[in-house]
Amino acid sequence: MDVKQREITAEELSKDFKEISIAEFFEKNRHLLGYENPTKSLITIVKELVDNSLDACEEANILPNINVKVQQITEEKFKILVEDNGPGIVPEKVPLAFGKLLYGTKFHKLKQTRGTQGLGAHGAILYSQLTTGKPAKITTTTEKEIHKFELMIDVMKNEPNIISHEKEKNIEKWHGLKLEVECVGRYIEGKQSIPEYLKQTAILHPYAKIVYNGPNGKSTFERVTEQMPQKPKEIKPHPYGMQLGILRRFATTTKAKNMIGFLTKEFSRLGKRSAQEMCKLAKIPYKTKPKDLQHDEIERLHKAMQMVKLMSPPTNVLSPLGENLITEGLEKEVEAEHFVAISRPPTVYSGFPFVVEIGLAYGGKLPLDQSAQLMRFANKVPLIYHSKDCVTSEACIETDWRRYGFSQSSGQLPLGPLIILVHFASVWVPYTSEGKQAISAYPEIMKEVKLALQEAGRQLSIYIRRKQKSRESQLRKELFENYIAELAEDLSKLSNEDKEKIAKGLREIIKKGESSVTRKDTETSDEKS
Amino acid sequence: MDVKQREITAEELSKDFKEISIAEFFEKNRHLLGYENPTKSLITIVKELVDNSLDACEEANILPNINVKVQQITEEKFKILVEDNGPGIVPEKVPLAFGKLLYGTKFHKLKQTRGTQGLGAHGAILYSQLTTGKPAKITTTTEKEIHKFELMIDVMKNEPNIISHEKEKNIEKWHGLKLEVECVGRYIEGKQSIPEYLKQTAILHPYAKIVYNGPNGKSTFERVTEQMPQKPKEIKPHPYGMQLGILRRFATTTKAKNMIGFLTKEFSRLGKRSAQEMCKLAKIPYKTKPKDLQHDEIERLHKAMQMVKLMSPPTNVLSPLGENLITEGLEKEVEAEHFVAISRPPTVYSGFPFVVEIGLAYGGKLPLDQSAQLMRFANKVPLIYHSKDCVTSEACIETDWRRYGFSQSSGQLPLGPLIILVHFASVWVPYTSEGKQAISAYPEIMKEVKLALQEAGRQLSIYIRRKQKSRESQLRKELFENYIAELAEDLSKLSNEDKEKIAKGLREIIKKGESSVTRKDTETSDEKS
């Protein structure tokens, strides 16, 4: 007899097919959203909610006031509350905006924002109800009313489940959003922690006031300026590097009735003449309806798009911080003695515009005997994990900091009292993975970060050399002063001049030398000494 | 006049809310599915389709015959075809099974399979149509008919779009599935390539025949055994480590009418007595309907679940390869002189059973002067990328291979003619990230991998020492033989015996010594020399 098991048919197997809800998918794969362990989960919740609050305030042109509360309930359970003074969310939209994954405002826009997928708050609520079974509490406002919701996500259906909804009068005309969740977590301070994330956020948002109430007390990051950076704008995709499948979809969804309208309306930097040139190259009549394009026509159009010379994407759509805000941010949170800020002109990678900005903080109370601290930001959000994989770290390590007065071992950050802040702003940040913690090393990005670091390094080195020189001359002066009395006596004996008069003259010589060092701001002044 | 921009209201912002289709999400975030660059994308497609074919054949108890074709069409375009002799998919299910993301058979099961999410083929089709705009071609069978589909995914709706569907008679009674896609890619050979992936797959599937037709020619990985490993079984979740949110959902979806039925039916290793004990601890009457449980009751039940002593999850549900299949697989694909295989008994991490298996191939044509090659597998699937992050690499590096006769620098793999194969089989593989390329270093897993490596290392070292000893004695013998004539002459002069007779006697002494070395199989035989 054959002991082999009998073959099973496709019909028998087919009964196992089942639809999976996207909420179920992310509940099971919660590490994709940053919820792989209790410590990181707690940070992720604060980060996602604060990022949302900042996006909302800026979108509405409101100077952000943000309150963050993290309260330990039991050994492993925490209550987290984030409250902002933004525009809030209209009550009718609350159920879907928080109770249905992949429902949001940011996914379809090519625009510099902190969040991108519309998954941030959903992930927090999903993780919260998974670990504690409790609903999220959401408070939002209209002009006349305050609305309070208790909400859970029906995971199997990916639909909101409203537990309660109460209204009260908005007497004080408060506006904003308040979100509270409970979850299993672990609280730490130091590197890769909530306080560190908030501190770095405060540095890049000197126009925000952030109050933090943590398990170990309260701290306030004050607003030091009312100047907000220019608001980012939404752009159309640039034809270079466009995928064929996306082009095909654009052709079927456009409202344009002919090729020239389609090309000039749906793409960035594509004028009438370029559109005509593309159509000619692709052998497509101008009057063809985009919906009627055949596969081979789309293939030809796709090729032609890469061949016609076009301007780079517009770069004025970005919202860099600018050198002033970077300096103000660093000055308020870092006890250093000298600050440098560089904001590079915008440039382009794979069709996406981007800007690199650098801040350096030097000396003061920063530790002398440790490696420099690198603070990384993408669209103003601090990147806490996966530092080694990040283009910013690579560029820092490959920069020769010995030129700027630091010691540095190969493959390491420079040694000394230094904070290096790198900010990457773009309509599309090429994260190395879903965790959004490190930026890919595209050659164009690497080059820009390095150029920016070099520019900042050179500026800092001027300060460092001047300081060194003034310290050296101070030492020489002190040394000389110690000998003035003795020297004056010797000279007085030789010249029969009055001892005191000679000493006074010598002191004046020192004074002159000193001021000439202070006045002269050059780096190479060896001839003076 | 105030130059500040006016505040924007929630009402104005709310019009931007929009639903995002899951297909759109993964098209934009295709790196989550392994499509971050043309080289990796090509490997990912082959890998996903071959994994599906192997799963289907094993599920149906069919010895797998798999054909893989990779054909270069233009400089950057490739046609990929994977064909198996599995059960196929019933034609009615084809549209959804390939044209709708998050629709599959594996997601909801706790069972050792290669795929888990039902996203593999979908990702391949999504990437293919994104880069070439072409539909996928799918051929499947019923007993009487062969069905051919051309299919695309409607990305905005996450729905299948059937371009064509033809039927013909299944005269030759062929059964199986054939999937063909075109995509932009880059073809390489060597490490991290399609041939290497297929070779490693062949090693762990000596019962499969895999034919590969690549851009550089054809190669066949023959079947060397008809013995298939025991089929894995589906299990219920174990109460230990269960999340509160999941418990809550189970309580609302169960068909059981009371607590005892609920607990004994939905969980693994939970008998009537343990169920009663849990209810008592949680102060819930046995007869309570699970659907009626209040939040505080679920919280108490969740706590009680972790307190009652239960047996570990069943481990006979796994499908390890076993030592024979590992050896057979290595022998057929690796030109080494000696093989060792270890299959550890199953054990448990976070409530999930798992098995670690090791194969070592030593000597022969393996390179003498390079680091050992590590081949990593999870549920029989080769892991190609992110080797450094993987528990298997860490365990290999932390194992002291000098004990087993290899030289090894700290933090490195051993040096020498060695292949180390590590296979991790579990109902739930804790991948470090979505890429499914590295296994997390859970302490229980780390411990098991190390124990398995040590066991294998000890076995291998017996062979290595014996070989070394026999080589040494061979050298001694040769040395001695060179002097026999001379020695015999000297002895003949001293003893007046015949020179030839003395030489013959000496040769016999050598022979005896030699056989005594060959017979004795111990490691510690220093006293003999």
Amino acid at A483: Y
Residue A278 has a pLDDT of 96
Q: Which residues does chain B have within 8 Å of residue A248's beta carbon, measured at their own beta carbons?
A: 133
Q: Which of A280, A355, A281 is nearest to A315 (CA)?
A: A355
For residue B381, the cross-strand partners are B378
Q: Which residues does chain A have within 8 Å of residue B28's beta carbon, measured at their own beta carbons?
A: 107
Report residue B442's pLDDT band, with 50, 70 and 90 as the boundaries. Answer: confident
Gap between the Cα atoms of B251 and A493, Å rounded:
106
Gap between the Cα atoms of A413 and A406, Å rounded:
10
Least confident of A478-492, B203-217, B337-351, B394-408: A478-492
Least confident of A3-12, A62-71, A208-217, A384-393: A3-12
Gap between the Cα atoms of B504 and B487, Å rounded:
12
Gap between the Cα atoms of B15 and B198, Å rounded:
50
All domains of chain A in start order, with CATH: 22-221 (3.30.565.10), 244-307 (1.10.8), 323-462 (3.30.230.10), 467-528 (no CATH)
CB B8 to CB A61 under 8 A?
Answer: yes
Q: Which of B156, B118, B183 is nearest to B24 (CA)?
A: B156
Among B4, B96, B156, the residue with its CB nearest the CB of A17 is B96
Among A5, A133, A298, the residue with its CB nearest the CB of B244 is A133
> Residues, chain B, total?
529
Q: What is the largest CA-CA distance in chain B?
A: 130
- φ/ψ region of B436 (left if φ > 0, alpha if ψ in -120 to 50, else beta) reads left
Among B10, B97, B155, the residue with its CB nearest the CB of A90 is B10
Helical H segments across B336-438, by residue range? 391-398
Between helix B244-253 and helix B295-307 the angle, nearest 10°, is 110
Amino acid at B472: E
ipTM of the complex: 0.76
3-state helix, strand and coil shares in percent for chain A, rounded to the nearest 5: 40, 20, 40
Q: Which residues does chain B have within 8 Å of residue A254's beta carbon, measured at their own beta carbons?
A: none
Query: What is the mean pLDDT of the segment spanning B107-116?
Result: 74
Residue with tokens 């985009």: A290
C-alpha torsion B268→B271→B272→B274, nearest 10: -90
Report residue B212's pLDDT band, with 50, 70 and 90 as the boundaries. Answer: very high
Q: Which of A420, A453, A35 is nearest to A200 (CA)?
A: A420
CB B129 to CB A243 under 8 A?
Answer: no
pLDDT: which is higher, A2 or B228? B228
| pTM over 0.90, yes/no | no
Least confident of A114-123, A305-314, B192-201, B365-374: A114-123
Least confident of A103-107, B168-172, B276-280, B389-393: A103-107
Q: Check the CA dihedral A247-A252-A255-A260 and report its sign.
A: positive
Between helix A244-253 and helix B120-132 the angle, nearest 10°, is 80
CB A61 to CB B21 under 8 A?
Answer: no
Instruction: Calculate the average pLDDT of chain A.
Output: 88
Residue A511 has a pLDDT of 72
Gap between the Cα atoms of B251 and B242, Å rounded:
13
CB A61 to CB B7 under 8 A?
Answer: yes
Contacts of A172 (CB under 8 A, 6+ apart): none
A41 CA to chain B: closest CA distance, Å?
A: 15
Gap between the Cα atoms of A132 and B445, Å rounded:
28
Strands (DSSP E) contained in B173-316 are 177-184, 209-214, 217-221
Gap between the Cα atoms of A473 and A470, Å rounded:
5
How many Cβ contacts (< 8 angstroms) between chains A and B?
A: 194
Q: Which residues does chain B have within 8 Å of residue A17's beta carbon, measured at their own beta carbons?
A: 93, 96-97, 103-105
Burial class (CB in 10 A: 0-12, 13-18, 19+), A331: middle
Among B61, B92, B247, the residue with its CB nearest the CB of A4 is B61
Token pair belonging to A298:
């789309």
CB A25 to CB B102 under 8 A?
Answer: yes
- Asked whether residue A1 carries a pLDDT value surpassing 50, the answer given is no
> Residues, chain A, total?
529
Report residue B111's pLDDT band, with 50, 70 and 90 as the boundaries. Answer: confident
